[in-house]
Amino acid sequence: MATASKVYEKLANFDEAKVQSYIESLDTQLSLAQENLQSKKQKRYEHEQDEVQERAERARIEQSFEEAIERAFQARAKSYEAWEARCTNIRMACLRDEQEAVQGYDAITQDLEKAKESLQQHLQRKEDYRAAKIMHELRRELALAVSVGDEATSSYEKVISIMSENGLSLKDLEFSDIKNKSLFIRLLERESALIEDVHEREEHTEKMLDKFLVSSSSKKDTRPSENPIQRIQRLLIAASEGGQFEAQKSLEQVLYLMDSNGVGVRDIGYGFIKKYSVFIRLINWEAERISSLSEREKFTAEILEEYIQHSVQKPKSDGQEQKMSR
């Protein structure tokens, strides 16, 4: 609940409208900066063309008056030197203007990217919070649905309502939240009845029964020899195989275990992180704990490179890696 409160506080403090307005402002500034940059480049190009033409013209004049008197030659030389200095000054001024325009363009681009990234993180955090809130309410109603009396009936109807409104099925639930077999059977019968194809209905029923039995037997296995890293690895495998809400719950447990045991992404083993979205969530979580911005960027770049290299190499068998971790 403490984590949910922190997330809710971040959501409440984030001004979506302000960020959207800021992004629109930056888009406008970016367009103006781009126009300014093109204008500076065109000005420099025109000047260089004029310079080339004038050089050619002066060369022609110089050749035709090669035998002119010394005074005229000196006057022409002085004029040429003054012109050369003026052209150099103009050329350097154009280059400085262009450099400033490039710097302005790059600065606005960076601000725009940071604003978009901030908004994306907020939206992801908002979606995660919504999913966690739905699952919390669903778990509570599932627990009440196994009681006796009108409250159980009401809770069962609420379970059905929550699942229907959010497009959830048994595949999205963690069966450890379903406290007895009768409640599971009721949910399974209701869900199976919605499947028209007989073969698909039988296949779905068999798959859900198997999953429920495995979940029930795993409740008895306390895994006394399982260390925190092994538990994190097991939860990450479950997150990659389950539905959205089951994956969300597994990730919440993973982040809690990583925080309480001082475990980093490198300690887990990339072979257990099957989904790229899960990997990004983990490194963002770990990077937020690095106070130095430069160190945070360095960490993110290094670990991204390691993960991509691991993915490209395609280890012989993830199962072998999992077996070694055990």
One-letter amino acid of 301: A
| pLDDT at residue number 23 | 92
Q: What is the mean pLDDT of the chain?
A: 80
How confident is the model over 56-70, as a mean pLDDT? 75
Residue with tokens 């919440």, as numbered in its chain: 252
Cα-Cα end-to-end distance for the chain:
31
Low-confidence winner among 16-25, 199-208, 257-266 (lowest mean pLDDT): 199-208
Task: Place 83 in a pLDDT band, splitting at 50, 70 and 90.
Answer: very high
Contact 236, 278 (CB under 8 A): yes
Task: Place 247 in a pLDDT band, splitting at 50, 70 and 90.
Answer: confident
Q: What share of the chain is helix, strand, coil (3-state, %, to 5)?
A: 85, 0, 15
Q: Each residue of 199-215: pLDDT tens digit?
A: 888 888 888 777 777 66
Distance CA 309, CA 278 (A): 17
Distance CA 68, CA 171 (A): 98
314 three-class SS: coil
Contact 215, 175 (CB under 8 A): yes
Residue with tokens 């809710």, as numbered in its chain: 8
Distance CA 211, CA 178 (A): 12
- DSSP secondary-structure letter at 172? G
296 vs 62 pLDDT, higher one: 296
Quick count: other Cβ atoms within 10 Å of Cβ 283? Answer: 17
Distance CA 168, CA 134 (A): 10
Residue 68, CA distances (Å) to 58, 61, 62, 71, 289 in order: 15, 11, 9, 8, 79
Distance CA 84, CA 77 (A): 10
Contact 128, 4 (CB under 8 A): no
Distance CA 272, CA 254 (A): 12
How confident is the model over 14-26, as a mean pLDDT? 89
Backbone phi, psi, residue 225, to 5° = -95, 5
Low-confidence winner among 5-9, 77-81, 244-248, 281-285 (lowest mean pLDDT): 244-248
Q: How many whole angstroms from its chain centre is CA 19?
A: 17
Distance CA 285, CA 264 (A): 10
How confident is the model over 116-143, as a mean pLDDT? 82
